[in-house]
Amino acid sequence: MSQTLPIEFAQHPHPAPTAPEKRAAILRDPGFGRAFTDHMVTIRYSEGKGWHDAKVGPREPIPMDPASAVLHYSQEIFEGLKAYRTANGGAVMFRPEENARRFNKSAERLAMPSLPEAAFVEAVDRLVTIDRDWIPEGEGSLYLRPFMFATEVFLGVKPSSEYLFIVIASPVGSYFKSKDSAVSVWVEQEFTRAAPGGTGAAKCGGNYAASLQAQMDAYKHGCEQVVFLDAVERRWIEELGGMNIFFVFDDSSMVTPPLGGTILPGITRASILTLAKDMKIAVREEPYALDQWRADAASGRLRETFACGTAAVLTPIGTVKSRDGDFVIGNGGSGAQTEKLKATLIDIQRCRAKDTHGWVHKVF
């Protein structure tokens, strides 16, 4: 299923790209994931032929046969990463090779072909380059969404023999609509996100489909996000619908749930583990129970809790609600250590601090 020959990309610029005034209006308030750039990258795969027909072209609808496998059995995976403008007029991405590697891990779990990591990175590089005018200034960034899905026209249950890999891009501002910096979360005690042996560690659309009912519960209780518990004991905190979680204690040490197949291995999570080590902050990757979270918040031993992921970077959690009652973390707002880690990470991502770990990938 692997392939070593380099993939050649054809380039067909959009004949009628968005007018500069219209683009500027969109970039003034892009929101999250609702505006898109002019181009997309596509690469096809078929058994026997391997990866082929790579191109950068206008973003356009993709004709699909109603019997396409993905529409029936959800063989689909995706990634999410951002491109940032730098002070000198260039553009960078944060650890895209890690996204390429994780994409292939997800592919393996869903019995899909692996895409050479170099082709993944070249695809996102090319899209950022051709749509460079769409990278917002200031706090914003260009969110890149690579994804792959099964296109074989067949209703039998088996891995598809054909796939389409696509990258689209969306200029984004801040992820959360609310102006308060801290979010409230709903601890879901009925529905779970991922079971041992399941697909929790893969970034696949199916995990999100299964999380939406819990997300609706969260909205119903006035919360922005869901916290999922483990599927076996419904006791251990795992992660949010699309973000990992860290707990900060009064001695500045931190706890984050261990990766064990049911948690998505976040690149932000991994980067925070490294930054914490640099900053001499002790982090324990160990299970943490909902009851303990509540008790530690009440006693003051727990000072802060934050969620982390590419889309929202670091987001403080201020209020926790569940069917057993609500509790507040710290003063209900953000905390000093959350803000320190967030600033450190963002400064590296935006080339304002020294990149001692080689995380920043220059696009141009």
Ligand X SMILES: *Cc1c(COP(=O)(O)O)cnc(C)c1O
Q: Which residues bind ligand X (CB under 6 A)?
A: 80, 203, 239, 242-244, 264, 266-269, 309-310
CB of 80 vs ligand X, minimal distance in Å? 6
User: Bridge-partner residues for 361, per DSSP?
Assistant: 93
Residue 23 token pair: 């683009």
Query: 140 or 309: whose CB is closer to ligand X?
Result: 309
Query: 18 or 305: whose CB is closer to ligand X?
Result: 305
CB of 203 vs ligand X, minimal distance in Å? 5
CA distance 34 to 280: 40
Query: 102 or 303: whose CB is closer to ligand X?
Result: 102
Query: 54 or 237: whose CB is closer to ligand X?
Result: 237
Query: 38 or 79: whose CB is closer to ligand X?
Result: 79
CB of 211 vs ligand X, minimal distance in Å? 8
Residue 318 token pair: 């201020």
Query: 266 or 318: whose CB is closer to ligand X?
Result: 266
Query: 51 or 143: whose CB is closer to ligand X?
Result: 143
Are 235 and 289 spatial neighbours (Cβ–Cβ below 8 Å)? yes
CB of 207 vs ligand X, minimal distance in Å? 6
CA distance 79 to 81: 7
Query: 136 or 309: whose CB is closer to ligand X?
Result: 309
> 3-state DSSP: the chain helix, strand, coil percent, rounded to 5?
25, 30, 45
Question: What 3-state DSSP class applies to 47?
Answer: coil
The set of residues, in sequence order, having a beta carbon less than 8 Å from that of 108 and lying 6+ positions away, is 114
Query: What's the CA angle centered on 90, arms 103 and 118, to 5 degrees?
Result: 30
**Phi–psi pair at 110, nearest 5 degrees:** -100, 20
Are 329 and 296 spatial neighbours (Cβ–Cβ below 8 Å)? no
CA distance 160 to 223: 39
CA distance 264 to 266: 6
CB of 260 vs ligand X, minimal distance in Å? 14
What is the number of other CB atoms lying within 10 angstroms of the CB of residue 6? 11
CB of 161 vs ligand X, minimal distance in Å? 27
**Phi–psi pair at 277, nearest 5 degrees:** -60, -45
Report DSSP state, residue 63: -
User: Bridge-partner residues for 325, per DSSP?
Assistant: 322
CB of 19 vs ligand X, minimal distance in Å? 33
CB of 44 vs ligand X, minimal distance in Å? 25
Find tokens 């501002």 and name the residue: 173
